[in-house]
Amino acid sequence: MANLLQLLRGGTLARARPDSLRRVRVDVPAEPPGTDAVFLILRRVRTPLVVLVSVFAVMTFGLSFMPGTEENPDRLSVFDSFYVISYTGLTIGYGEVPHAFSYPQRIWVTLTIYASVVAWSYSIGALLSLAQEQTFRRALALNRFTRKVRAIQEPFVLVVGYGQAGEAVCRALEDQGRNFVVLDSDPERIEHLALDNYTTDVPAMAASGRDPRILGMAGLGHPNCEAVLALTDNDETNLSVVMTVNLLRPELMVIARCSDREHAQQMHDFAADVVINPFDRYGAYLVMALRRPSGFRLASWLMSPRGSELPHKLEHLTDGHWVVSADGTFGFEVTRDLESAGLDVVLVDPADGRPDVSDAVGFIAGAESDIVNMAMAAHARIENDNLFIAVRQNSAVNHAPLRAFDADSVFVPTELLAREAVARITSPNYWSFIDHVLHEDDDWDAR
């Protein structure tokens, strides 16, 4: 059963972009926030280089002062000394040129061998130590990421956040042959992306989208950037992305995820094209299914994957009360929406144990744990076999058990969030038709 929450925004599909914000044209910053890798290497190997140059210089001039043999009493020139020290210090060892050396010269060359080995060991050790440092490795990754983004020649989408929603968006974009760039503050998610079976080498960087310089390096100022998706699980980070895009690249489409009404309003103030808040409108989804069953069936069918059957019609779900067992913001939002539609709703805390649903017509298991939700839903079905059961799914790993449970409604915010975000970018006319369906009456939907 598809979810229509993201489409129900107080009767409008997307709020109009305000024109009241004044802007001064500012170039998108793209300089790296850290030290460049080349300068980092030069700064860290400065002392080893001084040691190497000093050893070669002392040994070169020292050899030029060593007396020669009886057959060749002249000392070696500075150039000949430098030549000998060069192949000796680099362990090449061509021999005694341009002629056989005297014992003082051989002693000096012997000292050169040991001194150069010590100098090279110290220098190579400093380089290996630098290669192990996280700062240096991050600088290399940053430079490599920047080059890959600059090399993009086709339109691409900047995805900020590679959680469940971000991964679903990237999968859908790749299926449609679209390019994308990924930012996420969690290095493990970026490593997970590198191990995923994408057909192309996806530019990805472990960095926060709050930094405008990072967004600039990720392609915000790139002429081929066509949209920005802020899909992190932090509302303030998503708001920061919306603000940066609106102020620096107002012509770009920006779609943001949000779970707080105040942050959602702030995103609308900064002209976000779409603010997707599934928690805020899950109650509206259920209300539509109850009050406008034909519209719900049509919209759900259109939003389902190809080949899906028409959802069954819900009946007799308004004669009785509903039980919502949820923690956090989700329970309050759903309860408020159902009560505003005139339904009798009871909100309980999952920590209080199994709720009484013997005389209820609908039950919503909306805890933050999928295991708790399935346990509550199973008990509710045993207690009342005619109960309408809606289950909130928080993790994709539990898809198979929830599908086997065959709940009347499974609420998967990340999957449907990704479906809407991708469709708005690639098929805007499709969502215009969905908006038309939502605003027609139930008789039109039935026909």
| 438 in any annotated domain | yes
Instruction: Kindly report the CATH number assigned to the domain that includes residue 374.
Output: 3.40.50.720
| 164 in any annotated domain | yes
pLDDT above 90: residue 338: no
| 147 in any annotated domain | no
| 252 in any annotated domain | yes
Do 299 and 367 belong to one domain? yes
Do 342 and 432 belong to one domain? yes
Question: What's the pLDDT score for residue 36?
Answer: 66
Range of the domain at 437: 280-446
Sheet strands (E) in 307-387: 321-326, 344-348, 360-366
CA-to-CA distance for 301 and 296, rounded, in angstroms? 8
* Rg of the chain on CA atoms, in Å: 33
Question: What's the pLDDT score for residue 155?
Answer: 94
Q: Which of 8-17, 315-324, 382-391 has the lowest mean pLDDT?
A: 8-17
Element (H, E) at 204: strand 204-206
* Per-residue pLDDT tens digits for 262-314: 898 999 999 888 888 777 667 777 778 778 888 888 877 877 666 778 877 76
| 12 in any annotated domain | no
Give 344's strand partners.
321
Q: Which residue has the higher pLDDT, 205 or 417?
A: 205
Residue 404, CB half-sphere, CA atoms under 13 Å: how many?
5
Question: What's the pLDDT score for residue 42?
Answer: 75
Contact predicate 76/96, CB 8 Å: no
Out of 98, 132, 166, a domain closes at 132
Question: What's the pLDDT score for residue 403?
Answer: 87
Output the pTM of the full model.
0.73
Backbone angles phi, psi at 183, to 5 degrees: -125, 140
Question: What's the pLDDT score for residue 10?
Answer: 38
| 81 in any annotated domain | yes
CA-to-CA distance for 426 and 175, rounded, in angstroms? 12
* Per-residue pLDDT tens digits for 219-257: 999 999 999 999 998 999 999 999 999 999 999 999 999
What ranges in 196-303 are assigned the alpha helix state H?
212-215, 235-248, 261-269, 278-291, 293-303
Question: What's the pLDDT score for residue 317?
Answer: 67
Do 240 and 357 belong to one domain? no
For the chain, how many structural domains are there in total? 3
| 261 in any annotated domain | yes
Burial of residue 80 (number of CB atoms within 10 Å: 0-12, 13-18, 19+): middle
Element (H, E) at 158: strand 156-160
| 200 in any annotated domain | yes
Largest alpha-carbon pair distance within the chain?
A: 119
Q: Which of 97-111, 197-211, 315-329, 385-399 has the lowest mean pLDDT?
A: 315-329
Do 255 and 197 belong to one domain? yes
Do 291 and 437 belong to one domain? yes
CA-to-CA distance for 262 and 276, rounded, in angstroms? 13
Do 438 and 307 belong to one domain? yes
Do 291 and 306 belong to one domain? yes
Instruction: Kindly report the CATH number assigned to the domain that includes residue 80.
Output: 1.10.287.70
Out of 227, 243, 276, a domain closes at 276
Do 264 and 302 belong to one domain? no
Question: What's the pLDDT score for residue 141?
Answer: 84
Do 225 and 374 belong to one domain? no
CA-to-CA distance for 334 and 330, rounded, in angstroms? 6
Out of 258, 276, 294, a domain closes at 276
pLDDT category at 318 given cuts 50, 70, 90 is low
The residues near 376 (Cβ < 8 Å, ≥ 6 apart) are 325, 350, 354, 355, 363, 365, 367
Do 333 and 228 belong to one domain? no
Do 126 and 202 belong to one domain? no
Do 88 and 200 belong to one domain? no
* Per-residue pLDDT tens digits for 8-66: 433 333 444 455 566 788 888 877 655 566 777 777 788 999 999 999 999 999 999 99
Average pLDDT taken over every residue of the chain: 85
What ranges in 151-292 are assigned the alpha helix state H?
164-175, 187-195, 212-215, 235-248, 261-269, 278-291
pLDDT above 70: residue 350: yes
